[in-house]
Amino acid sequence: MTAVLLVEQALNGLQFGLMLFLLAAGLTLVFGIMDMINLAHGSLYMLGAFIAAALVQATGSFWAGVLLAIPATAIAGMLLEVLLLRKLYGRDHLSQVLATFALILILNELVRIAWGPDAPLAMPASLSGPVELFPGLSYPAYRLVIIAVGLAVAAFLFLLVNKTRIGMLVRAGASDREMALAMGVNIRALFTAVFGVGAALCALAGGLLAPLLAVQVGMGENILIVAFVVIVIGGIGSIRGALVGSLLVGVVDTAGRTLLPLALGAFLPAQVASAAGPALASVAIYLLMALVLYFRPQGLFPAHG
């Protein structure tokens, strides 16, 4: 185990964590403001990836396709909220879970009809090579761009939520929805806007991760589980908590998949260590969640006072 390996895995964890943050930010605000469990959030990530793939093919430009997919997915998300999800606000969580799970199945089939089971999306040729960060460490240029975009979006959301009037309304709705309603805040319009922002972030994550992962029907389900782990760790309704939780999960998952097989290899046969390491790494993020909940049941940075 070398310093170069540790730095490389730290960068991988940062990249994965920032992409998780794009998914978890919208999800935690929707859950925190309207107290709604939206299992279909991962489907917006899938929809954004497919729209990005289609627009990249239509325009011939990777960045134009991804940028156009962001407002397109945001509009689709807001229409979904106004036409369907708004009717679930007054229902209990079981009804919300069942309805949004049905929505996952419906969106999966609609995407399959529109684009087929999968879609190709390659990264820009100019970013396909590595960049030498320092002697001995070359890191993929595209992953560095993902890290830069993730950090920029995190900074933008921090300023939006903490330094603007819209952010003040979002924080008020997340902290005390009833008081915000009593003070005249239009929670429904606010929620539609927040839902649109969340869908836009899903499209950005889907478009950027598509060249690294397969764009296929059902791709949102697995990442949704990890996004829920993130918001539980960070605290429901908290952007800061979503960022910290995403980085923790990203680093723990990435480091576990790389370092655990190396550590187990010192005691076990190589074949057993290579199989057991990733399995234990998958469990590590849930152990982290359990540890956080044991000491801080409301999460690290809960929005509710």
Domain 3-295, what fold? ABC transporter involved in vitamin B12 uptake, BtuC (1.10.3470)
pTM, entire model: 0.88
Do 47 and 73 contact (CB within 8 A), yes or no? yes
Specify the pLDDT at position 175: 67
Query: Lowest-confidence range among 6-15, 84-93, 107-116, 201-210?
Result: 84-93
The pLDDT tens digits for 32-88 are: 776 778 888 899 999 999 999 999 999 989 999 999 999 999 999 999 989 888 888
The pLDDT tens digits for 270-303 are: 777 677 777 777 788 899 999 999 999 888 887 6
Specify the pLDDT at position 203: 93
**Which pLDDT band, with edges at 50, 70 and 90, does 247 fall under?**
very high
| Share in percent of the chain as helix, strand, coil (round to 5) | 75, 5, 20
**Which pLDDT band, with edges at 50, 70 and 90, does 129 fall under?**
confident
Specify the pLDDT at position 10: 86
3-state secondary structure of 301: coil
CB-based contacts of 117: which residues, under 8 Å, 6+ apart? 216, 217
The pLDDT tens digits for 153-178 are: 989 888 888 888 877 877 776 666 67
Half-sphere exposure of 175 (CA within 13 A, CB side): 11
**Which pLDDT band, with edges at 50, 70 and 90, does 305 fall under?**
very low
Do 281 and 222 contact (CB within 8 A), yes or no? no
Residue type, 137: L
Do 63 and 4 contact (CB within 8 A), yes or no? no
What percent of the chain lies above the pLDDT cut of 70? 95
pLDDT, greater one: 190 or 199:
199
Specify the pLDDT at position 112: 94
pLDDT of residue 246 exceeding 50:
yes
3-state secondary structure of 44: helix
CA distances (Å), origin 133, targets 139, 141, 258: 7, 10, 20
Specify the pLDDT at position 304: 55
Calculate mean pLDDT across residues 188-206.
88
Task: Check residue 236 and report its DSSP letter.
Answer: T
pLDDT of residue 262 exceeding 50:
yes
Specify the pLDDT at position 38: 86
Specify the pLDDT at position 191: 81
What percent of the chain lies above the pLDDT cut of 90? 34
Calculate mean pLDDT across residues 214-224.
87
Specify the pLDDT at position 31: 78
CA distances (Å), origin 157, targets 77, 93, 117, 154, 164: 19, 28, 33, 5, 10
Gap between the Cα atoms of 48 and 142, Å rounded: 19
Calculate mean pLDDT across residues 101-117.
93
